[in-house]
Amino acid sequence: MNKLNRYLLIILGLGWLSFLIVGILFNQFFAAPDFVLLIDRSYCPPQQWQQVVQKYSNLHQQHQQNLLQIKSVILFNDLGQEVLTNIPTPDKIGDLDTYGRSNPEKETELRKAYDQVKVIRCP
């Protein structure tokens, strides 16, 4: 191989390597924020529960557009908690029954168990 071809291959290789490095840096520093979503499922009148569903719907839409990443959804109240394996649709959240009372101790425990947490509750 002559010198010109070797220099061309080196320049192309360095160019692709720099694109790869820049792509990895963008992915690390400009990644969509990710969090665990806690939904307080304690008793709530239906009109107020619809406000919770609307907040969830907005987050779910952003999740679908890859603007943020919902790692998992956890429903909780004073009677226990339920970790949902898949990210539910807003319709499924709207169909849930609310029962029990709010449990601040359980919320604090869940906040400590996960790094990034966002909580939705009845107003």
In this predicted model, what pLDDT tens digit does every residue of 14-44 receive, in sequence order? 999 999 998 888 777 776 778 999 999 999 8
Same domain, 73 and 101: yes
Per-residue model confidence as pLDDT tens digits over 51-88: 999 999 999 999 998 888 899 999 998 888 899 889 99
Count of domains for the chain? 2
Same domain, 42 and 66: yes
Task: Rounding to the nearest 10 degrees, give the CA dihedral for residues 80, 86, 89, 93.
Answer: 0
Q: Distance (Å, rounded) from C-alpha 48 to C-alpha 107?
A: 20
Same domain, 71 and 13: no
Q: Distance (Å, rounded) from C-alpha 112 to C-alpha 21?
A: 35
Write down the pLDDT at residue 30.
73
Range of the domain at 67: 34-120
Residue 1: which pLDDT band, with cuts at 50, 70 and 90? low
Check residue 68 and report its DSSP letter.
Answer: S
Same domain, 85 and 47: yes
